[in-house]
Amino acid sequence: MNVGAVTMNDLLADLNDRQREAVRFPSGPLLILAGAGSGKTRVITHRLAHLIRERIATPREIVAVTFTNKAAGEMKERVAHLLGGLEAGAWVGTFHALCLRILRRDGAMLGYSPGFVVYDTADQLALLRACLKELGMDGAAETARSMLHRISSAKNLLQTVEQVAQQASSPAGELFARIYRAYQEGLKKNSAVDFDDLIFQALLLFESFPGVAERYASASRFLLVDEYQDTNHAQFELVKSLGRRHRNICVVGDEDQCLTAGTLVTMADGSRKSIEQVRKGDLVLSCYGSGDLRPAPVSEIFRKKRRGEAVLLLTEKGHRLVSTPEHTHFAGYRLGIARQRYLTYLMFKEGVGYRLGTSCVYTKGFVKPVVGAFLRARQEHADALWVLSTHSSENEARAEESILSLRYQIPTLPFVPRKGRSRNGLVHDASYIKRVFGSFDTAHTAARLLADHCLSLDHPHHLPRSRDSRRRNVVVTLCGDRRGARSLHRISIIGNDLKGRRRLESLGFSVRPARSDSRSWRFETASKSFGTLLQTVDRIREAFDLRLILNARLGKNDGALIESNSLPFLPASGLRPGMALFDANAGYDSVESVEWVHLEEDVFDLNVEGTHNFVANGIVTHNSIFSWRGADISNILDFKAHYPDATIIKLEQNYRSTRTILSAADAVIAHNRSRIGKTLWTDNPTGEPLELTIAQDDRAEAEQVLRLVRSMTSRGRRLEEIAVLYRTNYQSRLFEEVFLRERIPHQVVGSVRFYERKEIKDVVAYLRVLMNADDDLSLGRILNVPPRGIGKGTLDALFEIARAEEVSLNRAIELAVGRRELPARADNALRDFMTLLDELRSAAAGSALIPASSGAPSGPRSGVTALLATITNRIGYTAHLEKAYPGDYEARLQNLDALVSAAAEYDEEGATEGLQGFVDRSSLRSDTDDVQASGGVTLLTAHSVKGLEFPVVIVTGLEENVFPHIRSSDSQAELEEERRLFYVAMTRARERLFLTAAASRRSFGDFVENPPSRFLEEIPSELVLEKVAVPAGYLSGAGYNPWRDRAGAGRTGRPGPRGRQVARGAESIHYDPGEDEDGYAVGMKVTHPMFGKGTIAAVEGSGPSLKLTIRFAGAGTITCAAG
C-alpha cells in the first residue's frame, strides 16, 4: 500500500448506506440514479479505488468515462488521494479522449496516419466552405453551418457516407450526400478527423475489424460512465461495445415518470388492488383490442414522491381518477356517448395562423352526424384544433370566444371565405380575411393561450385526415389488429401522389392501392411491439414530413353506439368535459368534469407487457413506454431494457444544497414526465429562502444582479463564490457592462472558447504542421501569418497545383519551388518559409517532442513550453500582434501567456505523448476546463455550469421564450430538457439561490415583453421571498403572479394564466442603479417614465394600497401608486 493511502475502512467511512452499496457492488450491470449533490462523483471515485485496492481489477482493466476534461482531472486527483497515488494504466477521460486514444493506436487500419489532427469547429467550417465552393455551391458561413449540423447529426446516428447516399430519395438528399462525401474526403486528404469522427470512426473500426473490438472489450473488465443521461446514440453504442464481454457496466446519471397516485387496479381475477401493492409479475386485467379483456403481466413498477399540480377526473358513471398532468389517457369526442355541449376552440392553418371559434358536439342538418368543431376544421382545410373550454349554452361559448380574442389578439374570422346568400360580408371576402390574419402574430399569442389552458402544441384534440402531399398523417394504433391471440399494433399511412408512393418503396416498404378503383395508395403493417412501429415512423420520416397520430382501439365494436371504437392518446391536462373514455368493461364512459388539485404524495405507474394498458379506478388508462424518447435521455430510461439483470441504486441524499434549494428544485423537476423517479433529501440546514426579483427590463435586471453581488460581498462573501447564470451567451453583455463600469472583477465562461481565439489557433496551427505536414488547413492558415509576402494569388496558385496534381498543399509548395513556377518574390518567400518549418521541426525533434527524421538524433526532452517560445520568437509573433491589433494587444498577449501556462502544466505532468499529446489536449478541451477561482464573479450559461458548484448562484432571464428557450415551445421533450437545465442551474447553489427576470428585454433594438417563466410557477410559494420592481399590474391584479391563487388548501380549477405581454404604463416606477434592493423608502431615488427622476418624500400604505409621494425636479410633488 502506498504511503498516504487511506485504509479500506476510511475509504467507506464517509459514505452513506446507499453510496456504500454502490461502491461495493460486485459485478454485472449497475445503474446509479444520482440526484444533484448526492455524491455521485464520490461514488465513482470510491468505486474505482475500491476495485483497485481490493485487487478485484488491475488499473489497466478499468475504464472511467466522464464528459469534461476538468471532471476527468478531478477524478484522477481524488482516486490518487484515496490510493496514495494513481497507478499507471487506469484510463480516466472523456468519450472523445478515449476514442482518440483508440484511433491513435489502431486508426492505421482505417487508413489514418499516426499524426492525424483533430479539427475544431472553425477548421470544420473552413473545410466545408471550400468543399461547397468546389461543388459550385454557395460557400456562405450560414450554409456551411447548416450542412455541418446535418453531417454531425448523421455521424452521431452512425450513418456513413454510403448509407446517406443509399437512403437519399430526393435531389436535396442526393446533394447532401455529395457534400458529406466531399467533406469526408477533405478530412482524409488533410489527415484529419473532426470531433464527431472520434467516436464514429472508433465504432467503424470495431465493426470493420471484430478482432480489434474484442481486444478492447476484453481489456475493459470494468466500465464506469458518469452523466449517462447525456450520452447520445454513438456514445451509447460505444459503451455497449466496450462492455459486451464482461458486462460490468456501471452508469451514473440523473434521469429526472410518474403517473397515477393512490388508485385501484383491476387484477386478472377481477379483484381490485391498490396500485402500491401491485408487484412485478402480477397479472392485471388489460385490453387486447376491440373489447377483449384478458390477463397481462406487469413488467415494471415505477414510484416516486410527487409535489405539484395534478388532474382530478370525474366521469358520468361516477368514477374518480387522479393523475399527473402528463399521464396519457385514451380520450376524445365521439358521437353517441355524452350530452350536447358547446365548445370554444382554437384552430390552426399552415400559412395563415390561428383563429378562435365556437361550435357544438352535435351538429344539425347533416345526413351523417359529425362533431361540429371537427367539421369546421375540415371545411376550412385546417391542420389542427384544440378545445379550450366547454359550456352548457351557445352564448357562454361565444362570450368566452370574445374574451379570449381580445385578451390574446387572435382573430375569430374563418380561414376561408364563407359561402351563403350574402356575398358582401367580411367573412365572405378573402382579401379582408388575409389582411386581418396578416396583422397579428398569432403563433406567439396562440402558444401563450395554449399554455394558459394547460394544452400543448404537440397534443391537439383533432388532426384532420391527410388530403394530399401537403399534409401527411401516419397513424399508429395500439391493439389495432385482432388476428391471433396476441396483441398486435398497427401502423398505416395513405396518399394519392405517385412521388410519395415511390419514396416509400425506395425505403423498402410494401405499398398497395388503397382501393382497386383508386389511384390512392396505402402502406400498413402490424407488430407485437409498439416500439418497433415507432421506429418505423422514424424511417418513414426520412421520406416525408409527418404528423404522428396515436390511437388505441380498445372499445367494444358496437357501430350502432359509436362511430369508432378507437380513441386518441391524450395527456390528462388536455381532458375536457364530454370526451369519451373506455370503462372497465371496454364499454364507454365520458368525462363529467376536470379539476386541478395540489398533490403531495407518492405516485405510481405500471408497465404492462405487450398491451400497455390497465384498468385504474374503473377506467382503462395507458402506461409508460420509455423508448419513445430520443437517443439521449432514453439511454438511461431504457437501461433496464438493455440489461434486464441490472441493479438500480438510487442516491437521494444531497450533500451540496440546503433543504430549501432542494425542495424548490425537486418541485420543478417533478413536472417532467420522463423520469424513473427519486426524491433528493439532505441533512444540510434548511437555509435561506430563494429570492426572486422581477425587474422592469433587462438593464434593470443587470443592475439588480450588481446589487445582489454587492450585498453578498458586504456580508463577507468573496467574489469567486458567486456565479451568474443565464440561458444563452448573448445575455452576458449587460452583466459584463455593469461589472466593467463598477470595476467588479469577473470572468466570462463560454463566449469565445479559449482554443478558438485567433492568436491561439495561429500558434497551435504551427504545432499541427510540425506534426503533420499534410494538414492543408493548418498550413494554409500559417503560410502568411505573420505576413511574409505570400498573398492570396500565391495561395490560389498553390491550391490549383494541389488540385491538378492531386497532392497535399505541402507537396504543392515543394513542386512550385522546385519548378520555379511562381514569381521571384513569392518563390523566395516560400523558400524562407520551408526553411523556417525545417528549423522548427528540427527543434521539436531535437527535444523529443516529435519523431526524429531518418536517424537524426533526439536530444533530451525540453518540453512544449520551450518549443512555443521558439516558435513565437522565431516568427516574431508578439510584434505582429502589437502591430496588427493595437486595440487589444494586451488581451491577446495574455491569451498567449495562458497557452504557455497550459504547456507548462502539461510539461510538469511528465506526459510521454510529446507534442501530439499537447495538441490532442488542446483539441479536446472545453471552456469549463478553464474555470478557476480567479478572484472574480463567474458568468456562464446554464449549460456550462454542469459539474460546478458555488456558494451563491444567481439564475437570470427567467422569462418565457428565454428560459425556457423559445425553441422548446413546440416540443414537450425540449421543454423537459429546459426544465432539467433549470434544475441543474438551481442545484449548483450550495447556500443561497437568487432568481431574476425582466418584464421586457431588448431584441433587435426593440423591447419584447415576455411573461415570467413557467418554472417560477412550479416553485412552492413558501420557499420564495419575492421582490418586485416592475410596471404596475404586471404581477398583480389582472396580471401574472406565479403564486396567485395558491394561498389556502384544497385549491381547485386549472392554474392561472402563465402571463401576458404588458404595456409600459405611465404609472410605473423603477429603481435607480445602486439603490437598496429591500423596497421603497423615504429618500430613495426613483425614475418615472413621464415625470423623470425624483426622490421619495413619503410612503403610505402597503401592498396594493401602497402610495408614494415623490418630489420631481421638473414636475413638482406628485402622489402616485407604486408599481
Pairing of strands 117-119, 192-194: parallel
Q: Which residue has the higher pLDDT, 281 or 140?
A: 281
CA dist 1046 and 659 (Å) reads 21
CA dist 1116 and 931 (Å) reads 52
R_g of the chain computed on alpha carbons: 33
- Position 1031 scores a pLDDT of 42
CA 794 to chain centre: 46
Element (DSSP H or E) covering residue 110: none
Interval 990-1001 mean pLDDT? 90
**Beta-carbon contacts of residue 134 (< 8 Å; ≥ 6 apart):** 182
- Position 1043 scores a pLDDT of 37
Chain segment 349-387, per-residue pLDDT in tens: 988 999 999 999 887 655 556 788 898 998 999 999 999
Comparing 352-356, 491-495, 694-698, 1050-1054, the range with the smallest average pLDDT is 1050-1054
Question: DSSP labels for 144-204?
Answer: HHHHHHHHHHHHHTT--HHHHHHH--SHHHHHHHHHHHHHHHHHHHTTEEEHHHHHHHHHH
Interval 1049-1075 mean pLDDT? 31
Res. 627: pLDDT tops 60: no
Interval 968-993 mean pLDDT? 85
- Position 625 scores a pLDDT of 32
Burial of residue 862 (number of CB atoms within 10 Å: 0-12, 13-18, 19+): middle
The amino acid that residue 925 corresponds to is R
Q: Which residue has the higher pLDDT, 1091 or 1067?
A: 1091
Comparing 324-338, 445-459, 556-570, 922-936, the range with the smallest average pLDDT is 922-936
CA dist 973 and 16 (Å) reads 34
- Position 965 scores a pLDDT of 86
Model confidence band, residue 964 (pLDDT cutoffs 50, 70, 90): very high
Cell 358513471 identifies what position?
Answer: 317
Neighbours of 237 (CB within 10 A): 19
Chain segment 184-217, per-residue pLDDT in tens: 999 999 989 998 899 999 999 999 999 999 999 9
CA dist 250 and 27 (Å) reads 9
Interval 410-437 mean pLDDT? 84
Residue 730: how many CA atoms within 13 Å on its side-chain side? 7
> What is the rounded average pLDDT for all residues in the chain?
80
Residue 301's φ and ψ, nearest 5 degrees, are -125, 135
Interval 1071-1091 mean pLDDT? 52
- Position 935 scores a pLDDT of 65
- Position 472 scores a pLDDT of 85
DSSP-derived secondary structure letter, 352: T
DSSP-derived secondary structure letter, 416: S
Query: What angle is formed at CA 621 by the lines to CA 616 and CA 626, rounded to 5 degrees?
Result: 120
Comparing 481-485, 699-703, 821-825, the range with the smallest average pLDDT is 481-485
Res. 632: pLDDT tops 90: no
- Tell me the range of 280-284, 502-506, 624-628 where mean pLDDT is highest: 280-284
Beta bridge partners of 582: 588
3-class DSSP state of 661: helix
3-class DSSP state of 902: helix
Chain segment 792-804, per-residue pLDDT in tens: 889 889 989 988 8
Comparing 434-438, 554-558, 697-701, the range with the smallest average pLDDT is 554-558
Comparing 303-317, 606-620, 767-781, the range with the smallest average pLDDT is 303-317
- Position 39 scores a pLDDT of 65
Contact 311, 323 (CB under 8 A): yes
CA dist 1020 and 962 (Å) reads 21
Residue 575's φ and ψ, nearest 5 degrees, are -65, 140
Contact 404, 349 (CB under 8 A): no
Closest CA to 1054 of 454, 643, 591, 509: 454
Cell 461495445 identifies what position?
Answer: 241
Interval 714-719 mean pLDDT? 81
- Position 56 scores a pLDDT of 93
Chain segment 91-110, per-residue pLDDT in tens: 888 888 899 999 999 999 99
Res. 450: pLDDT tops 50: yes
Q: Which residue has the higher pLDDT, 148 or 288?
A: 288
Q: Where are the alpha helices (DSSP H) in 1012-1082?
A: 1014-1017
Q: Write down how long the chain is.
A: 1123
CA dist 229 and 672 (Å) reads 14
Interval 1075-1081 mean pLDDT? 48
- Position 726 scores a pLDDT of 92
- Position 954 scores a pLDDT of 97
Joined grid coordinates for residue 328: 396519457
Chain segment 27-47, per-residue pLDDT in tens: 999 988 765 456 677 788 889
Q: Which residue has the higher pLDDT, 729 or 195?
A: 195
Comparing 410-414, 778-782, 1068-1072, the range with the smallest average pLDDT is 1068-1072
Percent of the chain with pLDDT over 90: 30
Interval 218-230 mean pLDDT? 87
Res. 598: pLDDT tops 60: yes
- Position 1037 scores a pLDDT of 31
Res. 1099: pLDDT tops 70: yes
Percent of the chain with pLDDT over 70: 78
Model confidence band, residue 974 (pLDDT cutoffs 50, 70, 90): confident
CA dist 929 and 918 (Å) reads 15
Model confidence band, residue 224 (pLDDT cutoffs 50, 70, 90): very high
**Beta-carbon contacts of residue 645 (< 8 Å; ≥ 6 apart):** 28, 29
Axis crossing angle, helix 758-771 with helix 824-846, rounded to the nearest 10: 80
CA dist 419 and 427 (Å) reads 9
Q: Which residue has the higher pLDDT, 761 or 168?
A: 761
SS (H, E, C) 958-971: CECECCCEHHHHHC
User: Hey, CA dihedral for 1041, 1044, 1047, 1049, is it positive or negative?
Assistant: negative
CA dist 28 and 647 (Å) reads 8
Model confidence band, residue 651 (pLDDT cutoffs 50, 70, 90): confident
Res. 1056: pLDDT tops 60: no
Q: Where are the alpha helices (DSSP H) in 847-876?
A: 864-875
Strands (E) located in 434-545: 472-481, 488-495, 512-513, 521-527
Please tell me the chain's helix, strand, coil percentages from 3-state DSSP, rounded to the nearest 5.
40, 25, 35
3-class DSSP state of 293: strand
Chain segment 105-139, per-residue pLDDT in tens: 999 999 998 889 988 877 888 899 999 988 888 76
Joined grid coordinates for residue 361: 358536439
Burial of residue 615 (number of CB atoms within 10 Å: 0-12, 13-18, 19+): buried
Closest CA to 1069 of 1039, 1041, 1109, 1038: 1109
Query: What angle is formed at CA 17 by the lines to CA 12 and CA 23, rounded to 5 degrees?
Result: 50
